[in-house]
Structure 1
Amino acid sequence: MFFEPPPALEEDASAAPPGLPIWYAPPADQAGTMTLTGLELARTPNVVVTLPSITAYRAGCLLNVEVAMRRHTLSADDYRALQMSVFPVMVPGVTSGRPLPDTLLRFGVRFADGTKATTVGQRFERLNIPREEPPGPRLSWLLGGMSMRSGGEDAGIVTPVGLWLWPLPPREPFELALEWPAGGIELGFTSLDGSAIGSAADRSAPHWPQQP
């Protein structure tokens, strides 16, 4: 089993410091370098998940995923439920020791040595972000919104999903995992080029180089 129920979480009584830590989100003071991939991660009659690009920074990389959905043969209620389940905060029932709900869209990475990180069990409450830097790797789901696109109702909708991988992956091939039972997507893996991501990260630069 690649995707497992999250472990029991301990409450952190201390508040998070101002701002988001580097292991949780890309840095705001740096310009990342984008690499185009154009990869299709999964396809069903109602859903297409793609990885158009990756933005690399010195500390990590942002996987720019897009989830395209259309109603097709779904009822209005089922289509609405599918749209809502793209956002993990809208999916109840992710509990330690219990099977993951079918509505949970989950991503993960796996390196050549077997090390992996997934989005399962991530907490989105800003005040509950721990102060201490966790052991890597970590794959953080960055909450976004619906991307505006042209076309009528039959064209469907596209939802961008940002996945922040920290730290940078090894400079060798690694795998991106995806599973979404409610979307008809079984567990699958797509190979990514860690060397190309590392080279792109080498070209990233701060917005204000002279700032101490």
Structure 2
Amino acid sequence: MTVSFFPSFPGDELDWVTLDVTPPPLISRWDCPPGDVRPEPVALSVELGRSASTVVLIEGARVYPDGVVLRLTVRVREQPAELRRRVFQQLSVSHGRGMLHLALPPGGLRWGVEFADGQRVTSLDDYSPHTDRPPEVMPADWVPDRPVMRGLGRVDTFGAAWARDIWLWPLPPPGPLRLVCAWPDRGVPETATSIDAGPLRDAAARARPEWPVDPEDR
């Protein structure tokens, strides 16, 4: 008998498979990254905008077959820490899509992307795919006619840095991917930076399902 490295746990004797009878929710592929796919990381470091006190960056990407998670990062020079806290507090409710942009002050951070085919999505767009879906169509069967950008999970702050993952759907088409940023209150002028979408698309081809396909699920 093999002795486990770990001490016994009070719940070890429970049959969790039997207890978990709730069917998984139907998630639209444009709404968020798929939980059953292992993304391919891309070492991406792009400066979106800068001033004497602030820099806005994309630091890293995790690429899925249908979209990409971008790591949006802001670094500031504020001292003392209370001033940084106020900047990050505003960012945490006004940097992204959906309800997160409602508290955006007139001079707050705004950013967005433009695909090679001319399609755009920004943090100021007054559009929600959830309200645009016809009521007679199931969420998993409907696809928006424009790109989607939304925040994921919790905001991370450490020292003088603030960061959050942003889901961008669909996967950018071949060609240049234009990223535009402005933050008037922080002295960041409107700045456009183009990167090649090729490495993202190459990475998407390497993303793999996390679990083998069960014939009974087909």
TM-score w.r.t. structure 2 length?
A: 0.70
Residue 92 of structure 2 is aligned to residue 82 of structure 1: no
- Output one character per residue of 1:56-105: Cα deviation in whole Å (capped at 9) or x when no partner: 11011111121112314x895x54432222122576556xxxxx7212x2
Q: 3-state DSSP class of the match of 1:113?
A: coil
CA deviation profile, 1:116-140 (whole Å, cap 9, x unmatched): 111224689xx97953432132222
Aligned to 1:12: none
Out of 110, 114, 120, which is 1:116 matched to? 120
Unaligned runs of at least 5 residues, structure 2: 1-23, 134-138
Q: TM-score, normalised by structure 1?
A: 0.71
Question: Matches of 2:50 and 2:38 in 1, distance apart?
Answer: 32
Count of residues paired in the alignment: 179
Deviation at 1:209, TM superposition (A): 2.1
**What amino acid maps onto 2:45 in structure 1?**
G
The answer to whether the 8 A contact 2:73-2:162 is kept is: yes
- Using the aligned pairs only, state the percent identity: 29
Gap change, CA 1:19 and 1:83, over 3 Å in 2:
farther
Q: Distance in 2 between matches of 1:57 and 1:206?
A: 10
- Is 1:69 aligned with 2:63? no
| Distance in 1 (alpha carbons) for counterparts of 2:101 and 2:148 | 21
1:160 aligns with 2:190: no
Q: Does the aligned pair in 1 maintain the 2:49–2:190 contact within 8 Å? A: no
User: In structure 2, what is the Cα distance between the partners aligned to 1:141 and 1:147?
Assistant: 15
**Distance in 1, Cα, partners of 2:153 & 2:186:** 19
Contact 2:56–2:75 (Cα < 8 Å) also in 1: yes
List gaps (5 residues or longer) in structure 1.
Answer: 1-16, 95-99, 149-155
Q: How does 1:139-154 map to 2 (within 5 A)?
A: 139-148=149-158
1:126-180 Cα shifts (integer Å, max 9, x gaps): x9795343213222232522244xxxxxxx4222122211111111112011122
Alignment root-mean-square deviation, CA: 2.9
Partner SS, residue 22 of structure 1: coil
